[in-house]
């Protein structure tokens, strides 16, 4: 059914739950697993909002290393990709470039005004991806 699964992760609790789900899916479907994380750039990046976090590149590399360790422990060889830019745009672009037929992404349960003001990477991926998207809610 699905042959190439893209896991989008930022190292958050929700993303870690999505990692476990993507690993299970890849095993059950005997699919290839690709992992992407995005180091945000631009005026809305975490760097502008949180001056205590200085090196987003190092954080992104650590996120990929953690995901790679989890996939390796599960016996899956995954490819990893570090992108720069707007997360939802880069996730969708990566899926298209790699020919992925399913995207797995974690989400934080938000509702109402908070979601409108803060936005949601997962929601934008669901709205704009040309392939099915599995969202894994943080519990």
Average pLDDT over residues 102-120: 66
Closest to 138 (Cα-Cα) out of 112, 110, 107? 107
Q: 21: how many CB neighbours lie within 10 A of its CB?
A: 17
Q: What is the pLDDT of residues 44-100, one digit of tens each?
A: 444 444 444 446 788 999 999 999 999 999 999 999 999 999 999 999 999 999 999
- Give the mean pLDDT of the chain: 86
Domain residue ranges of the chain, discontinuous segments joined by +: 4-137
Q: What is the pLDDT of residues 56-65, one digit of tens each?
A: 788 999 999 9
**In CATH, what class is 4-137?**
alpha beta
Q: Are strands 4-8 and 32-40 parallel, antiparallel or unpaired?
A: parallel
Q: pTM for this structure?
A: 0.85
**Exposed, middle or buried, 50 (CB in 10 Å: 0-12/13-18/19+)?**
exposed
- d(Cα 106, Cα 137) in Å, to the nearest integer? 6
């Amino acid at each position: 059914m699905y042959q190439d699964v893209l896991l989008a992760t930022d190292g958050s609790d929700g993303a870690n739950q999505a990692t476990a789900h993507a690993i299970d899916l890849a095993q059950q479907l005997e699919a290839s697993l690709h992992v992407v994380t995005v180091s945000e750039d631009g005026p809305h990046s975490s760097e502008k909002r949180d001056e205590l976090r200085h090196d987003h590149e190092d954080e992104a590399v650590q996120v990929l290393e953690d995901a790679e360790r989890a996939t390796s422990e599960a016996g899956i060889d995954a490819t990893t990709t570090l992108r720069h830019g707007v997360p939802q745009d880069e996730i969708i672009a990566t899926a298209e470039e790699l020919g992925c037929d399913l995207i797995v992404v974690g989400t934080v349960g938000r509702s109402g005004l908070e979601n409108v003001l803060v936005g949601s990477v997962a929601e934008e991926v669901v709205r704009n991806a040309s392939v099915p998207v599995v969202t894994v809610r943080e519990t």
